[in-house]
Amino acid sequence: MTNITEKLELFEVFVRSKRGLDHKHIGSLHAEDHEQALEYARDCYTRRTEGVSIWVVKSDDICASQEDDAECFYDPSDDKPYRHATYYVLPDPVNNM
């Protein structure tokens, strides 16, 4: 017997907890389509009015960098400390800029 979830698509759910804040990834669920995913997300993830807005995205549509790629993605930044404000030593009286 096949599990029904295998016939459904996987969706990732993002919830904006308050106006003005970013949508945050909160979890995933199975659904037939976007509309259904939105309804399930409401029932599943916002039972205590955790949010004011929900996004659902098909998991397959998410293209993510892999941990193994970390080196070529992020290493080039490591030798650029001058991109950080703390790199610049200024006299005390003006150091709050």
Q: Which residues bind other proteins (CB under 8 A)?
A: 16, 19-20, 22, 53, 80, 82-85, 87-91, 93-94, 97
Q: How far is the CB of 4 from other proteins (least distance, A)?
A: 28
Q: How far is the CB of 92 from other proteins (least distance, A)?
A: 9
Q: How far is the CB of 42 from other proteins (least distance, A)?
A: 16
Q: Is 82 exposed, middle or buried (0-12, 13-18, 19+ CB in 10 A)?
A: exposed
Nearer to other proteins, 7 or 83 (CB): 83
Nearer to other proteins, 4 or 85 (CB): 85
User: Alpha helix locations (H) across 1-97?
Assistant: 34-45, 70-78
Q: Alpha-carbon distance 25 to 65, whole Å? A: 16
Nearer to other proteins, 1 or 84 (CB): 84
CA proximity to 44, closest of 26, 23, 62: 26
Altogether, the residues listed in the chain come to a count of 97
Q: How far is the CB of 20 from other proteins (least distance, A)?
A: 3
